[in-house]
Amino acid sequence: MSKYSIDEFIKQTKQDDQENEYFELETPRILEVNLRDQVWAKVGSMISYNGKIKFEREKILEHGVGRMFKKAFTGEGSSLMKATGNGRLYLADQGKKITILELDNESITVNGNDLLAFEPGIEWDIKLMKKIAGMMSGGLFNVTLKGSGRVAITSHYEPLTLLVHPGENVITDPNATVAWSGHLKPDFRTDISVRTVLGRGSGESIQMEFSGDGFVIVQPFEEGSTKGS
């Protein structure tokens, strides 16, 4: 175990006083937002801030009736909050590793549990995985983000990016799937042989299959459990 004097510990772990990018990693697991206007972030992700910042939970009709109905239908728990003002805001989510992606008129789809924050200029919408809703406990929902700006996503441990090429499909566990190219549309399938070999419950034999041209980001951890309890 490392030992530090108080002064040494402060020197090793203190915040970076230099304001640089709008989004930057203060540590691999803490996002610093140099707030000058507003930012959307996952509810409960604020761990500290300074300056004058106001926090508001996403209003029911903030993004239209259609999106409200989607959220009500899924019963999803990844609500968003809006932080407005000027200051320095620190965000984190259960110690998960944070990755900042810079979208340049591009789109990406992120598992709802793994979206930490995004700049206000990014357009977003909730996508329901209708085919899987009856197969997995609680279903599965994702957020598609598009435009230009920064998006911060989280993963348990180091993420791995798998490339999808025409004729070379990529198959993943839904609970280990963090994000994928916005234009890819996963299909869902069940594989009895996988369930038998791994000795898992029927729900855990569900797989996501990606085809086309793009990428899929996975993590070495299953976000939730589909086993009956």
pLDDT digits (tens, 9 = 90+) for 82-95: 999 999 999 999 99
Residue 44: inside a domain: yes
Residue 9: inside a domain: no
Considering the chain, what is the average pLDDT of its residues? 81
**Residues with Cβ within 8 Å of residue 164, at least 6 apart in sequence:** 170, 181, 184, 210, 211, 212, 213, 214, 215, 216
| Higher-scoring residue by pLDDT: 199, 55 | 55
Say if CB 83 and CB 54 are below 8 A apart.
yes
Query: Percentage of residues in the chain with pLDDT exceeding 70?
Result: 75
Query: Which amino acid, 71?
Result: K
Residue 176: inside a domain: yes
- The pLDDT value recorded for residue 127 is 75
- The pLDDT value recorded for residue 117 is 97
- The pLDDT value recorded for residue 197 is 52
Residue 202: inside a domain: yes
Which tokens in the block code for residue 152?
A: 């911060």
- The pLDDT value recorded for residue 80 is 83
* CATH code assigned at 183: 3.60.160.10
Q: How many domains does the chain have?
A: 1
Residue 132: inside a domain: yes
Which tokens in the block code for residue 5?
A: 């004097």
- The pLDDT value recorded for residue 154 is 97
Range of the domain at 179: 19-218
Residue 47: inside a domain: yes
- The pLDDT value recorded for residue 222 is 84
pLDDT digit string, tens, across residues 6-65: 788 778 778 776 657 899 999 999 999 999 999 999 999 999 999 999 999 865 545 554
- The pLDDT value recorded for residue 75 is 45
- C-alpha atoms less than 13 angstroms from C-alpha of 176 in its C-beta half-sphere: 20
- The pLDDT value recorded for residue 14 is 81
Residue 7: inside a domain: no
pLDDT band at 189 (very low <50, low <70, confident <90, very high): confident
- The pLDDT value recorded for residue 67 is 52
Residue 11: inside a domain: no
Which residues are paired to 156 by β-bridges?
none
